[in-house]
Structure 1
């Protein structure tokens, strides 16, 4: 029989509804009957005993809020009767012992990837065209228009374009707006690129437009160059063409410095073109097109070869989270993360505003005091800067998060951290540093989905697994972003953008470990090129560098 509620941790004094419950319903918690005093929708929480103003609210075994008015046993917990609160944290003794999952069925598994000179292995093979400053965005677009269709990476057919053609015809036939709105244009159909690619071993050319490179603070300029260097040196990238105007703050020498910082023996083809030095825009574009085509010929020589799972570097992301995120998709992904770490691979947990409330646990799990101290410093610096601008981490949950049960940042954070599993924290990085050790790495980024995903890939994630309870089309230009739904209703409603359903954990059809291993199997298929992530099929190439102002 399916459970209707779940108490996550023995210390918790609130419990989550797994299905819609009505006022007057009686549920059993720890053997005790509790009668609900009001309706509790699925994903939301109710009090397990009376709470007075100022009392701690505990979930996942940690402080997640404070009562601001009396809350009765069985009463719905809302933003009206509790507010965000989280525990203090400090440098303490290391707690790095962990129970490694059973690796027997995984230790000899491989994926088919692209081996690079630095020893990394990519899950894709892309060429990049990058503007070093926003002034070159238009020239990048010209190159994109020239290449994408001719090389077979972009189709001339679009279902949306066909829909517009249908509407034009209806308008010409005299249909009015009310009639137009009733027309069934049909669902989105799969539109494939040309069957014959000129370079079959190159997955595509990707173009990274952005709004930075000049007129910003030096920290943002250096951060942009570091991020772009992370993409250029990325295992999924064969080489790059970079367009520079010449007079901007983000100079070619700064970019090269960041590239060699990440890969001292860097040997990929890299074409750096400066417009003010070359002269005419026509000549700049001619050189860029010729050099890019020559680079594609070289990139096409690389083919997929077997690699151990220890070569995986997986970004752990969530967005559009709901009240089921921390009990289905996130812990399932956490189990997959623990297997990857156990095999010697790398996983990246970012979104520092969404680690609020679990800082003590994560700092205790750091492999040494220096690593723990860096994590504590980055968390406090980020939070203090946010507060100085009048917006602490408590402002992180979105309207959708709150509506679907994540009513404080600490509730959201305690569930979000589950993506990182239980392994020790091997390293802590500041944006946009590159992953340098196997194991679990904490990367300082905002909670903003695209900024964080962009940063994880820039730090080396070759594939990103993105859990969502509300649905999001977020993708990345060079790394497949695999979406995992927290609930089956979402998966059925938005399966054109969702890859995997973890709502099976809520229904009781699977355990967390079973769902996690299913996620890992999917990762291996994506990494081997046997299957494409929905975000890749949909062309969701989101790329937003983080400006180190306040973004939560």
Structure 2
């Protein structure tokens, strides 16, 4: 098993003066180079033999000499940032993992700090080469697959948690569902120890929107995805009564089946706010005894669907945490499970790394079609898709969206891309898949959970305080200083790869084992902190009328 680190295949510069962007690197070569680099105590990391930049493992000072690299630093360089390994002429491609992340905006001398101030973002013609890097998956025999202690529903679906969920069809019923959920304090739930909680999924749309429309369809699909999620033992949907997103229409159009474990209330019919809250409490109370009857039992890891997320990325994210998570996902896929990569703007510039792994031209083209949609959607706006990354990303060493995408894509590992899905579309194909979404963490994760993810793995370099329900979030720190500073929020320290104490493959094995424990009910750090009640954020596409 080898995690994905570098792009393979060729890109051709389409901007005058950019020169050839051809990359002869293979994934295996890049993994070997990166593993060797991080296994030493050197203050600089060389990620690929053909790179013209090096990565600072720690803060390096102006004038500091690094004789093993033949360099004298011309600036103070923060940890995770890039240093010119040699002279880079103006217009020459800047290479990291032997992938082009931009061109030199001016002549850059050896030992200079290389970042947004002297890298120009240019677009390149990228050959999608559909399927060129597809390799057979070495599946683990079913009898030998890893297991976790899951909750098996009557229809065969497998859960990792056991909540009762309350959904609002419209913002106008969001206060009511929050009041219903708030009634079920730990003291009131003490008689139901197998129920993880009663959680409200309030949202801010549902009425002042065009319908029919893509936004309307997306909202209904998201709500329905939560309503049928295996981690919810019971569901209550509450509407106002005059909204566009009518409860009856939602249930009918999404083929939901009302019954003892899926109930609905309409405030205008029930008698108003207080009456609805009281009726909602009674409805949940009626569902609790059956929800409490569940017992965990050993089930195959093939039942795991993992949403892959990154936020607050830094220069180390794409060196340790993301490729290590990719290594864990390669293991998961070999055991029959599903890995869901998302955040479409954050594969911009390296999409060919995925299309080359597409099992068919049709699947590869679906991914390109989503990127084309995003290009049109963001045209004229100062969005990440157009090149500029967030202040935290820049402070952490990422110069532009191409560099960020290079690291982000590594979360998906190396196995073939099996399918591409729309936001919140039910994911039925096992293996490595892609779900279209924005790069905004709560929105992307909401879509993944609606698609069926029963656990989220979230890498972060700057430090994210994210949590989610009903599927829990495991947070993976990219560097040891941040992990130590924010240990109450971080589950796994992938900084051990940067420190040279673990290889990417060893870290991937640890992540996989941690996933199995968390899926079995071991609380994540975000669960211990009580996070996840406010992170249900469906994607808003349309105008508000």
Q: Same fold (TM over 0.5)?
A: yes
Indicate the SS of the match to 1:327.
Answer: helix
- Rounded Cα–Cα distance in structure 2 between residues aligned with 1:237 and 1:63: 44
Deviation of 1:293 (Å): 1.0
Q: Does the CA contact (< 8 Å) of 2:139 and 2:336 recur in 1?
A: no
Deviations 1:495-527 (A, max 9, x none): 111111111111111111111111111111111
Q: 1:362 aligned to 349, 354, 366, which one? A: 354
Deviations 1:345-372 (A, max 9, x none): 0011011111011111211211111111
Unaligned runs of 5+ in 2: 1-39
Q: Does the CA contact (< 8 Å) of 1:130 and 1:208 recur in 2?
A: yes
Deviation of 1:492 (Å): 0.9
Q: Does the CA contact (< 8 Å) of 1:133 and 1:212 recur in 2?
A: yes
Q: Does the CA contact (< 8 Å) of 1:90 and 1:376 recur in 2?
A: no
Deviations 1:145-168 (A, max 9, x none): 32224424xxxxxxxxxxxxxxxx
- What's 1:219 paired with? 214
- What's 1:11 paired with? 50
Distance 1:431 1:108, change over 3 A: closer
Distance 1:407 1:525, change over 3 A: same
- What's 2:231 paired with? 236
- Rounded Cα–Cα distance in structure 2 between residues aligned with 1:421 and 1:267: 41
Unaligned runs of 5+ in 1: 153-196
Q: Does the CA contact (< 8 Å) of 2:424 and 2:449 recur in 1?
A: no
**1:200 matched to 2:239:** no
Deviation of 1:12 (Å): 2.2
**1:407 matched to 2:399:** yes
- What's 1:377 paired with? 369
**1:248 matched to 2:274:** no
* Mean CA deviation greater in 69-78 or 315-324: 69-78
Alignment of 1:246-395 (within 5 A): 246-257=241-252, 259-260=254-255, 269-391=261-383, 393-395=385-387
- Rounded Cα–Cα distance in structure 2 between residues aligned with 1:532 and 1:502: 19
Q: Does the CA contact (< 8 Å) of 2:146 and 2:335 recur in 1?
A: no
Deviation of 1:277 (Å): 2.6
**1:536 matched to 2:527:** yes
**1:134 matched to 2:125:** no
Deviation of 1:95 (Å): 2.3
Deviations 1:379-421 (A, max 9, x none): 1111221024353613451101101101111111101111110
Q: 2:465 aligned to 473, 495, 510, which one? A: 473
**TM-score, normalising length from structure 2?**
0.87
Distance 1:116 1:523, change over 3 A: same
- Rounded Cα–Cα distance in structure 1 between residues aligned with 2:265 and 2:258: 18
Q: Does the CA contact (< 8 Å) of 2:419 and 2:429 recur in 1?
A: yes
RMSD: 2.3
Q: Does the CA contact (< 8 Å) of 2:321 and 2:459 recur in 1?
A: yes
- What's 1:110 paired with? 147
Q: Does the CA contact (< 8 Å) of 1:64 and 1:86 recur in 2?
A: no
- Rounded Cα–Cα distance in structure 2 between residues aligned with 1:83 and 1:268: 59
Deviations 1:438-492 (A, max 9, x none): 0011111111111111111111111111111111111112111011111111111
Aligned pairs, number: 500
